Amino acid sequence: MSQKLLRHKTVFKRATSHIRVQSSPLCYAFCYCHQVCSLDSVRQVKQEVMIQHVCSHHPFIAPLTHFWQTRKLLIIMTEYIGYGELHQLWRSLGRLPEQLLSLYVAEIALALDFLHNAGIIYRDLKMENILLDVDGHIKLIDFGLSRWLTYGGHTSTICGTLQFMAPEVLKGEEYGHPADWWSLGIIAYSLYLGHYPVSGYDDHVT
């Protein structure tokens, strides 16, 4: 990439990474992952990059544009989708109109079906991980908890966001791709009725 990029702002920070917005004149989001963390964390980030790279051509998955690795950093470049999260829209509108609800649920379902058929389980489907683009369509982001899993296979790691986790995940039992569909059901319920099925679970499990 030869064009010059202008830094705008840092939009997100965590212990091992941060995200900046830069333009050229198009806007991009850069995730800078510090490789001073554990080897397992580095492997997880690299798996995240490969999964998003494989899925970037899908219309409802945020495209990964480039990625680089230096001695201290793994840099992930994606298209900047600056029209907010589905969660923000839901909070501002409350119950979504049925036509809009149907559109979003259908687009999320298409993205999930694509991932599952590609041998990937997402594992952290929630409204905060769904962005809206300039045309009002969804873009699935953040593949940090995703992993390769053969269709019909099982895993047992407890991870995700409590409000959206399937019962078998919470119980520490083996689970597979259907756990993602449970999460979509929670999203559809919440968008339609204006509240979560069960209140009081905003904590994250990693």
Query: Amino acid identity of 22?
Result: Q
| Same domain for 97 and 44 | no
| Same domain for 94 and 71 | no
Integer-rounded Cα radius of gyration of the chain: 17
| Same domain for 179 and 99 | yes
Domain count, the chain: 2
| Same domain for 158 and 101 | yes
Residue 21 CA neighbour count, 13 Å, CB half: 11
Q: Is 124 in the active site?
A: yes
Are 53 and 63 spatial neighbours (Cβ–Cβ below 8 Å)?
Answer: no
Residue 1 belongs to some domain of the structure: no
| Same domain for 93 and 65 | no
| Same domain for 93 and 69 | no
Residues 6+ apart with CB under 8 A from 55: 61, 114, 115, 118, 120, 143
Residue 94, domain CATH:
1.10.510.10
DSSP for residue 165: -
32-41, 62-71, 129-138: least confident range: 32-41
Residue 184 belongs to some domain of the structure: yes
Looking at residue 18, what is its pLDDT? 43
- pLDDT band, residue 30 (cuts 50/70/90): low
| Same domain for 190 and 141 | yes
| Same domain for 149 and 58 | no
Residue 146 belongs to some domain of the structure: yes
In this model, does residue 8 exceed pLDDT 60?
no
Instruction: For residues 120 and 1, give the distance between their C-alpha atoms in angstroms, rounded to a whole number.
Output: 29
Instruction: For residues 20 and 28, give the distance between their C-alpha atoms in angstroms, rounded to a whole number.
Output: 8
The per-residue pLDDT for range 37-87, each reduced to its tens digit, is 566 666 777 788 889 889 989 999 998 776 767 777 767 777 778 778 999
| Same domain for 25 and 122 | no
Residue 25, domain CATH:
3.30.200.20
Provide the residue range defining the domain that includes 127. Answer: 86-205
List the one residue out of 104, 107, 146, 106 whose CA is nearest residue 125: 146
The angle formed by the CA atoms of residues 44, 48 and 54, to the nearest 5 degrees, is: 145
The per-residue pLDDT for range 106-121, each reduced to its tens digit, is 999 999 999 999 999 9
Q: Which of 40, 113, 124, 202 is catalytic?
A: 124
Instruction: For residues 155 and 169, give the distance between their C-alpha atoms in angstroms, rounded to a whole number.
Output: 9
Instruction: For residues 11 and 20, give the distance between their C-alpha atoms in angstroms, rounded to a whole number.
Output: 6
